[in-house]
Amino acid sequence: MNSILAGLPQELPRALFGEFSGKFEHSQNAVGKSNTKKAKIEDVIVLGLKKSVKWNMADPHTGRITIFSGTYSIVTEHDEYYYLLCTVSSKSGNTSMTGKFYLSVPKNGDDITYTDISKMHSYKLKKK
């Protein structure tokens, strides 16, 4: 067994599986402008047996919904958190992409943090 993974749980505790929701602000800089886009992440579902994760992200201004789905692996366990690396595909209308995201899941608590690795934005989500 890889020594880096030694001692890590094979499955996350059952209490961590469920639905989460939250809001985030995503700032994009255009030429000389600052644009803040507010959106909502909802229905984050973590399924332990299938090691799958999915969530929807809705833009309240345009009504556009992006659907993310993919798999996760347990990256590390540190202090009070598990850190999951997710490889996710997203689809919104005719646009689709693949990316990597982190979910930081507390061992005791009802929130998770979503981080877009490519942009390094982090958003706090609360359990429904």
- Cα atoms in the Cβ-side hemisphere of radius 13 Å centred on 7: 5
Selected residue with higher pLDDT from 64 and 116: 64
Selected residue with higher pLDDT from 43 and 109: 109
Confidence category of residue 123, pLDDT binned at 50, 70, 90: low
- Copy the structure tokens of residue 92: 């919104």
pLDDT mean over 51-63 = 70
Task: Please report, rounded to a whole number, the percentage of residues in the chain having pLDDT higher than 90.
Answer: 0
User: Above 60 in pLDDT, residue 30?
Assistant: no
User: Above 60 in pLDDT, residue 104?
Assistant: yes
Whole-number Å distance between alpha carbons of 12 and 125: 18
Whole-number Å distance between alpha carbons of 50 and 110: 21
Domain ranges of the chain: 36-127
Write the CB contacts of 120 (distance below 8 Å, at least 6 apart in sequence).
none
Q: What is the pLDDT of residue 44?
A: 54
